[in-house]
Structure 1
């Protein structure tokens, strides 16, 4: 499978962190494959490439919300969960039955009610928009 999103995600490091991307910022694909096999989950290409590109870059993985480490990914309520806010009021995920879609739509769960809301954007769009908002918000304050 050819990489579609890796370069966009790697570009986040120099864009927001004022340093060059380094291999240590990401997670090796063989390691990711082993983790996902052990967990028994299928991960969409965009999320897999995000983790491969910047999965070890704490400044991005914990920029405002907290992206889960690959070992922490889980399926709950029919969604592959990957992100939560610091107060654990909301969790973000993608429908697990759409794991074969390269860049699926992101959904947000209100943890108090269990209600899911469509974020109306794909994973790559969501991540790029969220990080732009986080880092632009920081610059404005």
Structure 2
């Protein structure tokens, strides 16, 4: 099985942290397989490769919003949850029945109302856009 997203995810470390990607930034695939088997959940390829590449990189995993550790993943309301904001007002997930889709669409839940909204982008698009927003947010604020 070839890696689809690994190189792009690896590129986030030098892009935003100014240092080369290291193997220690990720979580070993065998460990991930064991965790997902224990949790009895199916995890889409993009999310697996994200953890495999960046799962131990706190600077990116906790950049403004908080990606859940693999052990914390859960399925709720038919969605595989993977991220929340610091106030726990919103949680992001992907439809659990889409686990066989390599890069599924991301949805956001308002935790107060329980309403889910389509983010209109795949997991990989969401990650790249979110980190770009987080790390480049202060550009132009001096106006």
Q: Same fold judged by TM-score > 0.5?
A: yes
> How many pairs does the alignment contain?
141
In 2, Cα distance between the equivalents of 1:140 and 1:111? 32
In 2, Cα distance between the equivalents of 1:38 and 1:76? 17
Residue in 2 that maps onto 1:114: 114
TM-score (ref. length: structure 2): 0.97
Runs of 5+ consecutive residues of structure 2 not aligned to the other structure = none
CA deviations over 1:67-93 (Å, ceiling 9, x no partner) = 000000000000000000000000000
Residue in 2 that maps onto 1:54: 54
2:137 is paired with a residue of what secondary structure? helix
Residue in 2 that maps onto 1:103: 103
In 1, Cα distance between the equivalents of 2:83 and 2:138? 20
1:81 is paired with a residue of what secondary structure? strand
In 2, Cα distance between the equivalents of 1:54 and 1:42? 19
**Residue 138 of structure 1: how far off its partner (Å):** 4.2
Residue in 2 that maps onto 1:13: 13
Once superposed, which parts of structure 1, at least 4 consecutive aligned residues long, lie more than 6 Å away? Answer: none
1:15 is paired with a residue of what secondary structure? helix
TM-score (ref. length: structure 1): 0.98
**Residue 139 of structure 1: how far off its partner (Å):** 5.0
1:91 is paired with a residue of what secondary structure? strand
CA deviations over 1:84-113 (Å, ceiling 9, x no partner) = 000000000000000000000000000000
1:117 is paired with a residue of what secondary structure? strand
1:130 is paired with a residue of what secondary structure? helix
Residue in 1 that maps onto 2:77: 77
Residue in 2 that maps onto 1:42: 42
**Residue 117 of structure 1: how far off its partner (Å):** 0.1
Runs of 5+ consecutive residues of structure 1 not aligned to the other structure = none
